[in-house]
Amino acid sequence: MKRFISFAFLTLLFCVGCESIVRVEQDPGGDDGLPAAISSEQIEARTSDDPRVRKYILPERIVWHSAAGIENAAALLEKRSGQATLEASNPCILRSDKDKGAVLLDFGTELQGGVQIMVWHTKDNKPVRLRVRFGESVSEAMAELGGEKNTTNDHAIRDQSILAPWLGTAEIGNTGFRFVRIDIEDPNSFVQLKAVRAVFIYRDLEYKGSFRCSDERLNRIWRTGAYTVHLNMQDYLWDGIKRDRLVWIGDMHPETMTIWSVFGDVDVVTKSLDLIREETPLPKWMNGISSYSMWWVLIQYGQYMHSGDLGYLEQQRRYLAGLLAELARCVDDSGRETLTGWRFLDWPTAENEPAIHAGLQSLAVMTLTAGAELCDVLDEPALKAHCLKAVAKLKQHTPDPAGSKQAAALMALAGLADAKKLNAEIMAVDGPRRMSTFYGYYVLQARALAGDYQGAIDCIRQYWGAMLDLGATTFWEDFDLDWTQNASRIDELVGEGKKDIHGDFGNYCYKGFRHSLCHGWASGPTAWLSEHVLGVKAVEPGCSVVKIEPHLGDLEWAEGTFPTPKGIIKVRHTKNADGTVSSKIESPKGIRIIRSR
């Protein structure tokens, strides 16, 4: 519970509003209070609103400091303002007479933003040059750029110098981090630091969904998945806040499932869907990946089911119709998919071509089936028939999952093979090994379809829980249980003879410190626990009809909330002595609840 003290603090912050103010020099002669040279219409045309707010976060502890060149590091843990004052009281001092002083701060949890550095006095009252390094792990914040551990400034500059003013404040950074190292760079100089505060930038959203059960480990996992996605809900829905600050539309699918379970209908989803649509004229594939265009359709389906927003769906009619027609053309006479572009599922399957084909075959079935339902809503009967004809052809071919849990999961979800058989022969073998944080969500979904709820719960505890055991406060781009052998935690200096869980592992594009430790696609357990343990699932658009079918496995009880357009559904399930489950359900007016028997 100690690890989530900071999380609870941050959750409290989310409830506090903040107004963004743009100040314009006033001209008394202007009718609208603006200078004569600029009008309110021009202001509107040249600006855009930022849905995010900023908060200042104090460091939680000093992880490390140099042996010399520093005095009174603990002063940086005191609660102080960022305002300059003439009187320097109990400063932290970095010197560079002989050895250059440095300090490494821990802000307690992963954050998106930068730091504010408040300076009292400097040598000769001149600006002083400081080096600032951000890290998602202690070892990343301590690393030099480049090297065998692949330290980078990709997507976000996390290692740079800054001139800090005498009696002033400097802000630096726009990245994902938990740890910050500050070094004095100027020779024969000093700086008196009053405060170093994280500048936390995020959307001020209410956590409408919730989950609690008799296992605190699962509770922490649910909250961590929710927080991971929350950090990535910036101006658009990103994949990672340090690296991959992009709208990867396929990666968005598990993120959106978490968003609908925790926050409800938020415009960052539709804004991101529209961005990729506008930047991908047909017949191009979104992000250059055919499967990602299919995920766009599946997200559109989920968006309609959860929001019931027919007006938004109508806006997609033209593009959706063209994309579905293009996908239907990518089926040969034998029923095999013939998708072009980058044929990609996730990184662990990148070299397994039979598994990629099996996954794409399955995704084509799932996408064209969902597309047919959307065509029904949009009154496009000819296109609906065309989609269903392509689905019938695709189902004539049963691919080989080639031992891949990811491919097997998609085949089960598409109905191309028996879910129980695939679970027993592939997905349940070796527990959570040979999984990925991205497609782990679909493995969990497929195991639920096979009725193996207990196996899925155990998998969540072991796989995602292992990241928490290593100090994670957000879930990672990828993870392998084999990495944990003799590995140090991310919140400590790597000990003698120990492995660096961040710098020593990774593959493909995420080797070493380039590996993101806050990746929204890894949040799947949050959505899964809400859907299958709480048992809440929308079965009609706009959550007008919701099915509640809990599966507690070895849990004694579970309770929580689920957001809908009509309000919050509240549930509590308790296991009886005979193994049956008693449920208490409260739902808003206008929602019909279907309860399992």
Q: Where are the domains of the chain?
A: 2-52, 55-203, 236-475, 541-595
* Omega cis (within 30) before 283: yes
Task: Find out whether 565 and 264 touch, Cβ atoms under 8 Å.
Answer: yes
User: 54 forms bridges with which residues in the sheet?
Assistant: 201
- pLDDT at position 147: 93
- pLDDT at position 98: 87
pTM score > 0.85 for this model? yes
- pLDDT at position 18: 36
- pLDDT at position 8: 39
Kindly tell me the number of DSSP H helices and DSSP E strands found in the chain.
Answer: 16, 18
Task: Find out whether 408 and 366 touch, Cβ atoms under 8 Å.
Answer: no
Q: What is the pLDDT of residues 216-243, one digit of tens each?
A: 999 999 999 999 999 999 999 999 999 9
CATH code of the domain occupying 55-203: 2.60.120.260
Task: Find out whether 76 and 196 touch, Cβ atoms under 8 Å.
Answer: yes
- pLDDT at position 31: 53
* Token output for 196: 């170093």
Q: What is the pLDDT of residues 333-363, one digit of tens each?
A: 999 999 999 999 999 999 999 999 999 999 9
- pLDDT at position 47: 79
Q: In what order do the strands lie in the sheet with 210-213?
A: 210-213, 557-564, 567-575, 581-586
The DSSP secondary structure of 209-258, one letter per residue, reads -EEEES-HHHHHHHHHHHHHHHHHBSSSB-SBSSS--S--TTTHHHHHHH
Q: Which residues contact 59 (CB under 8 A, 6 or more apart)?
A: 76, 77, 105, 106, 107, 108, 180, 196, 197, 198
CATH class of the domain comprising 236-475: mainly alpha
Taking Cα atoms as reference points, which of 302, 297, 304, 298 lies closest to residue 319? 297
Residues of the chain with pLDDT under 70: 1-38, 43, 597
